[in-house]
Structure 1
Amino acid sequence: MAAFNKFNAFSEALAEKVHNLGADTLTIALCAAANAPVATNSVLADLTQIAYTNLSARTLTVSSSSQTSGTYKLVIADKTLTASGGAVATFRYIVIYNDTATNDELIGWYDYGSNLTLADGESLTIDFDNSGGVLTLV
């Protein structure tokens, strides 16, 4: 999996009680290479997403949201995206955002380094780090 990149506004949103990472609905947004996310984006409306026609559900499952010895870790279950009924638009970036938050605040993104395309019937498994977690706070 590509490296996780945090949106700058995520830190402030976390400190100001916008996110409850253990209970809120976290979802994936997909962006094409021409519409790359940048660290200064803060809400979903800042991004240009691909069309999700023919794509399976994008909601994530939080496996664990806990702290040990003062270090918090968010673990998200791997997610499989599947094209059904036709191809899915080309994308390169996978963005995690908080769908529960009022403005769909952004958390972070992954850059796959090249374009990805899913033809009808193809799947992509997003392999989140189940050991280190998606993110840690110390």
Structure 2
Amino acid sequence: MASFNKFNSFVEALAEKVHNLDSDTLTIALCAAANAPVATNTVLADLTQISYTNLSSRTLTVSSSAQASGTYKLVIADKTLTASGGAVAAFRYVVIYNDTAANDELIGWYDYGTALTLADGESLTLDFDNTNGVLTLA
């Protein structure tokens, strides 16, 4: 999977109790190449998303949210996105946001480097790092 990029506002939102990464609902947003997220985006409304009409659930599952020896690690289970009933529009960016937070605050994104499409019946597995986690805080 591509490298994780955090949104600048995530740091402040974390410090000000906007996120509870252990219990909040984390969700995927998809953006086309022409609508790249930037580090200064703060909330989901800042992004232009593709249509999700033919896409399976985008809700993520937190496998582990814990600290050891003063280092916190967030591990998210791999997620399979499947097109059903038609194709899914081209996207390049996979964004993680907090769907529980009042303003759908952004956490981070992955840049796949090229546009991806899913034809009806095709799937894409988002292979999150189960060893090092999506993010660590030390």
Alignment TM class, shorter chain as reference:
over 0.9
Question: Taking structure 1 as the reference length, what is the TM-score of the superposition?
Answer: 1.00
Q: Which runs of structure 2 are paired with 1:1-138 in the superposition (5 Å)? A: 1-138=1-138
Q: Percent identity?
A: 86
- Determine helix, strand or coil for the equivalent of 1:24: coil
Question: Taking structure 2 as the reference length, what is the TM-score of the superposition?
Answer: 1.00
- Determine helix, strand or coil for the equivalent of 1:27: strand
Q: What CA distance in whole angstroms lies between the structure 2 residues aligned with 1:86 and 1:102? A: 32
CA shift at 1:63, angstroms? 0.1
Root-mean-square deviation (Å): 0.2
Q: Deviations over 1:67-114 (max 9, x none)?
A: 000000000000000000000010000000000000000000000000
- Determine helix, strand or coil for the equivalent of 1:57: coil
Q: What CA distance in whole angstroms lies between the structure 1 residues aligned with 2:89 and 2:53? A: 8
CA shift at 1:39, angstroms? 0.1
Q: What CA distance in whole angstroms lies between the structure 2 residues aligned with 1:42 and 1:130? A: 26
Corresponding pairs, count = 138
Q: What CA distance in whole angstroms lies between the structure 1 residues aligned with 2:28 and 2:17? A: 21
Letter matched to residue 88 of structure 1: V
Where structure 1 has 5 or more consecutive residues not aligned to the other structure, the ranges are none
Q: What CA distance in whole angstroms lies between the structure 2 residues aligned with 1:25 and 1:127? A: 19
CA shift at 1:20, angstroms? 0.1
Letter matched to residue 100 of structure 1: T
Where structure 2 has 5 or more consecutive residues not aligned to the other structure, the ranges are none
CA shift at 1:135, angstroms? 0.1
Q: Deviations over 1:4-48 (max 9, x none)?
A: 000000000000000000000000000000000000000000000
